[in-house]
Chains A and B, each alone.
Chain A
Amino acid sequence: AQRVTQPEKLLSVFKGAPVELKCNYSYSGSPELFWYVQYSRQRLQLLLRHISRESIKGFTADLNKGETSFHLKKPFAQEEDSAMYYCALSGCSGAGSYQLTFGKGTKLSVIP
């Protein structure tokens, strides 16, 4: 079974401080990992995915297979980064299909 753990429900940082949102996963195969973001009163949207190795809005995330982690980082937090962040894993469900499993989410609050 695949599982995603986000240990922090709430993370508060000051504007300009570094941010790290933690995500650990459990999956026996080779996973596809994503970070989704949900701003207040908006729909969930993809922030980034590990296979793209991209930086979006200053955020990056590196897949560490040894530690089974996919932490989201940003060197300098901005007020507009305040949102709910969800880590997600896509893996084979065993029936030939891929299932997307979400962590419980971390609420990031950036204090001005």
Chain B
Amino acid sequence: EAQVTQNPRYLITVTGKKLTVTCSQNMNHEYMSWYRQDPGLGLRQIYYSMNVEVTDKGDVPEGYKVSRKEKRNFPLILESPSPNQTSLYFCASRVGGLAGGLVETQYFGPGTRLLVL
């Protein structure tokens, strides 16, 4: 079954304690991205990756890091989490991303709810 998985689904942590949220897709998609969803602000893109070893900042990258060492995985790293990073996080993937190509559907993971105390 084609899917995007995220772990953990729920996480409570304290300020300053490094954490990683994993994201994995089994569709051989080149393009992956991370979003955060906050009430009244909708979905905002944090980082995206066009392919292995190619990552770029989205709209709200501050306080986050990502890596793309393999095609299927795109972990989100919070080196020193702060309370303002309490949010619902979604990973997503889709085919392609090259100019001139047909844009395909973006598939979303189930979300990770993070609380930073």
A binding-site residues for B, Cβ under 8 Å: 6, 9, 32, 43-46, 49, 86, 90, 92, 95-105
Looking across the interface, which residue of chain A has its beta carbon closest to that of B33?
A100
Which of B20-28, B39-47, B61-69 is the contact stretch?
A: B39-47
**A-B interface contact total, Cβ < 8 Å:** 53
Contacting residue for A9 out of B31, B40, B96, B101, CB 8 A: B40
B84 close to A (CB within 8 Å): no
B binding-site residues for A, Cβ under 8 Å: 31, 33, 35, 40-45, 48, 50, 56, 58, 90, 96-99, 101, 103, 105-106, 108-111
Contacting residue for A92 out of B43, B96, B99, B106, CB 8 A: B99
Cα–Cα, bound, A95→B98 (Å):
9
- Contact check, B42 vs A45: say whether CB atoms are below 8 A apart: no
Cα–Cα, bound, A104→B41 (Å):
5
Chain B positions within 8 Å of A46 at CB level: 105-106
Looking across the interface, which residue of chain A has its beta carbon closest to that of B54?
A97
Closest 5 interchain pairs by CB? Answer: A104-B42, A102-B43, A105-B42, A97-B97, A44-B108
A49 with B42: in contact, given A96-B98, A96-B99, A97-B97 (CB under 8 Å)? no
A86 with B99: in contact, given A46-B105, A97-B50 (CB under 8 Å)? no
Chain B positions within 8 Å of A44 at CB level: 43, 90, 108
Chain B positions within 8 Å of A97 at CB level: 31, 48, 50, 56, 97-99
- Contact check, B43 vs A86: say whether CB atoms are below 8 A apart: yes
Contacting residue for A98 out of B41, B103, B105, CB 8 A: B103
Shortest beta-carbon distance from A90 to chain B in Å = 5
Cα–Cα, bound, A45→B44 (Å):
16
Q: Knowing that A44-B90, A97-B97, A104-B42 touch, tell me 12 more A-B residue pairs with CB under 8 angstroms.
A: A6-B42, A43-B108, A46-B105, A86-B43, A96-B99, A97-B50, A97-B56, A100-B33, A101-B45, A102-B44, A104-B41, A105-B43
Contacting residue for A49 out of B45, B96, B105, CB 8 A: B105
